[in-house]
Chain A
Amino acid sequence: MSERLITYKDALREAQASCLASDPEVYLIGLGVPGPTGIFGTTSGLAEEFGEDRVLDMPASEGGMTGVVLGTAVSGMRPVMVHMRVDFAVLSMETLVNQAAKWHYMYGGKMRAPLTVRMIIGRGWGQGPQHSQSLQAWFAHVPGLKVVMPATARDAKGMLIAAVEDDAPVIVIEHRWLYAIQGDVPEEHFTEPLDGAKVLREGKDVTLAGYSYMALECMRAAEMLEKVGINAEVIDLRTLTPVDGDTIAASIGKTGRFIAADTAHSDFGATAEVVSVAVERAFDSLRKAPVRVGLPYIPTPTTPALADLYYPRAVDIARAAVELCDSDAVIDDPPPETPWRDVPDPTFTGPY
């Protein structure tokens, strides 16, 4: 079958179009959703195509509106709520954590809240302490919420559709730096599972497991490692709830060495859980202590001079792998394509 390459951003757009077309109960809502820039292009044109009563803007009231949206969900509608930045979704925490997560359970299974919340994370161009956080672990800590982080264009479409069709509240966390990256995506309506990691690359020396943009950085690290004779296996972790212990344990069974990478702070973050699962499930296979790659326990600095030091990159994952493999190979830092490493690609001229 021939490839159909589209960007992650377009895959998200297709997923929503497909859900709107296939189920009249689906609607989209969020600040700027029908607007001229359409949530970085992910909702562009959908209001025109499906009508303004199904693709809606809202007052700047994330807290109350999350309850309103939840109310429509328990009434049988299938809302997709969008937050341009996860930092804004913080205002909806009460409803998500105390209400949406629990209504099915605490009312003895009598109600369902088929709510999908898209939250965008990202970095770069001085977005700083309040516009570039990665708060996925917060949501994953709450039983009843499903939390997924698609890393590829195919998963962006298939998992978003699966999220909309799922009867539980699902938080879909998307990284802005994935938006322009292309992948092979079927044109039709399809789903990808909301559980289970995927092995992106087979290897035998070390396992690199990453979430979202860091799964991509793991792939880049594996290429760097290949050049110095280290054969890395790469896992796209895909979902926080659950962490796929089977895939992780099977990989560690082959490699004996494990690195987990996330877009967030390592401390109390998703990789804390991932490494716990790895140790619980594959203790006997581990030859050395697992390593985590993530943000330091520091808020995001705005100046590029500090942000460049703040974010771990493929080269950091590769170097961690070299050390874990007791190799003395030297991994060179690829020359920067831009004066600062605060843009997803050289065509980007800011601001977000």
Chain B
Amino acid sequence: MATNIRRPDAETRRAMLRSMLRVRMVEEEIVERYGEQEMRCPTHITIGQEAPPVGVSAHLRQSDYVFSAHRSHGHYLAKNADLPAMIAELYGKATGCALGKGGSQHLVDLDAGFMGSAPILASTISVGVGVAWAAKRRGEDRVVVIYFGDGATEEGAFHEAINFAGVNRLPVVFVCENNLYSVHTPLEIRQPNRAIHHLATVHGMEGEGGDGNDVEDVWRIAGDAVERARADGGPSLIEFATYRWKEHCGPLEDVHLGYRDQAEFDSWVEKCPIVNYERRLTDEGVVDTAAVADMRTGIADEIEAAFSFAKESPFPEPDALARFVYPEPRAGAAE
């Protein structure tokens, strides 16, 4: 067991800063290029919400599994899933992580343990629970992390799934990124005045809420939850307060729509998870300006390469249309 579980070491802190920067810079590049109309699929930008996936993933092994929903880029990238394959998927290319069939809403990378994402609210939550159940039944040493938004917790499927996880003490960490809105609808008119993580108790699991713009708060809370799951201590529901900067779906700003006001928006930009963390690590001497600049250059090169790969990749051939409706017999399978 790690000795200083409550506090990340310097190397982890640098890695978390870099990972958040990487998610941010990938998203910024998508925002920059979306208007070229070559990424032709609904795309939910996660700028502002980088801390939860990074703080959670810091505790995960490659063999642990992650499920996500529509706003999945951060979850995918923080789990070390394949960046070029993700960008190619957004471009609808044959080299995409789902061969172009899924787009931004259906990322997958089994090698990295990113088990899938789907935009029907709460839908992957129960599937993730089933995967955790299978892992437990087979005695596998595996933790399953399931990400979702505040809106998804209003679906019956969410409650049914976490109830089952609670009954069976499954090795799951339910991670709710509460960004206050479901599309344009504020939380107050959708849920009673109680914290979402308080639902944990009634479904028989631990629950904790934290600052979703402070990656170390996330790291601490997620660390407890992942460790609990790994030690067969049952599931947890953890909730992080955070905020989406872009429009619900697409690359644009949307404060002008009027459902959230400029003052609220500005106050969250003040709480930028990356700017503040960079400042803190700089102040504490964990990184310096040159080190951060190096990070940026390295990430920019990686992103440039990923976009070039995506743009140069071929589109799927016409015969791909009818493939995979039903599985073909497995190679070597007995008759």
B151 at the interface (CB under 8 A from A): yes
A340 touches B40 (CB 8 A): yes
List residues of chain A with CB under 8 Å of any chain B CB: 31-32, 35-37, 57-64, 87-88, 90-91, 125-131, 296-299, 301-306, 309-310, 339-340, 342, 349-352
Pairwise interchain contact A301-B249, C-beta atoms closer than 8 A: no
Would you give the 0/1 interface string for B243-264, flagging 1 where the beta carbon is closer than 8 Å to chain A?
A: 0000001100000011100000
Contact flag A61-B118 (CB < 8 Å), given A126-B92, A296-B321, A298-B325: no
Q: Please determine whether A125 and B42 come into contact, CB atoms closer than 8 angstroms.
A: yes
Kindly identify, within residues 283 to 335 of chain B, every residue whose CB is under 8 Å from any CB belonging to chain A: 315-316, 318, 320-322, 325
Q: B100's contact among A63, A64, A91, A302, by CB below 8 Å, is which?
A: A302
Min C-beta distance of B319 to chain A, whole Å: 10
Q: Tell me if A60 and B100 are in contact (CB < 8 A).
A: no
Residue-wise interface mask of B (88-126) relative to A, using a CB-CB cutoff of 8 A (1 in contact, 0 not): 000011001010111111100000000000111110000
* Interface residue B215 (Cβ < 8 Å from any Cβ of A): no
Q: What are 26 of the A-B contact pairs (CB < 8 Å)?
A: A31-B183, A32-B183, A32-B184, A35-B184, A35-B185, A35-B259, A36-B257, A37-B184, A60-B121, A60-B154, A88-B121, A90-B120, A91-B155, A91-B156, A125-B42, A126-B103, A128-B103, A130-B119, A298-B321, A298-B322, A298-B325, A301-B321, A303-B316, A305-B316, A309-B318, A342-B40
Complex contact A350–B322 (CB within 8 A): no
| Residues of A with C-beta under 8 A to B122 | 60
Count of CB-CB pairs between chains A and B under 8 Å: 133
Q: Find out whether the CB atom of B106 lies under 8 angstroms from the CB atom of A302.
A: yes
Binary per-residue interface labels of chain B (159-187) against chain A in the complex, 1 for a CB within 8 Å, 0 otherwise: 00000000000000000000000111100
Query: Bound state CA distance, A94 and B250, in angstroms?
Result: 33
B residues bordering A, Cβ < 8 Å?
A: 35, 37, 40-43, 92-93, 96, 98, 100-106, 118-122, 151-152, 154-157, 182-185, 189-191, 249-250, 257-259, 315-316, 318, 320-322, 325
**Residues from chain B with Cβ under 8 Å of A58 in the complex:** 190
A50 smallest CB distance to B (angstroms): 17
Q: Once the chains bind, are B185 and A303 in contact (CB under 8 Å)?
A: no
Which listed residue (A31, A62, A128, A298) contacts B185, Cβ 8 A? A31
B102: contacting residue among A36, A63, A302, CB under 8 A = A302
Bound CA–CA A4/B100 (angstroms)? 44
Across the A-B interface, the 6 shortest Cβ-Cβ residue pairs: A126-B41, A303-B92, A303-B100, A305-B315, A302-B103, A59-B154
- Least CB separation from A87: chain B residue: B120
A131-B105 contact given A125-B40, A125-B42, A349-B37, CB 8 Å threshold: yes
Q: A128-B103, A302-B102 given as contacts; is B40 within 8 A of A350 (CB)?
A: yes
Query: What's the Cα separation between A352 and B289 when bound, in Å?
Result: 41
Would A35 and B183 count as touching, CB distance under 8 A?
Answer: yes
Given contacts A63-B155, A301-B320, A303-B96, 16 further A-B contacts (CB under 8 A): A59-B191, A60-B121, A90-B120, A91-B155, A125-B42, A296-B321, A298-B321, A298-B325, A302-B92, A302-B98, A302-B102, A302-B105, A305-B92, A306-B320, A306-B321, A309-B321
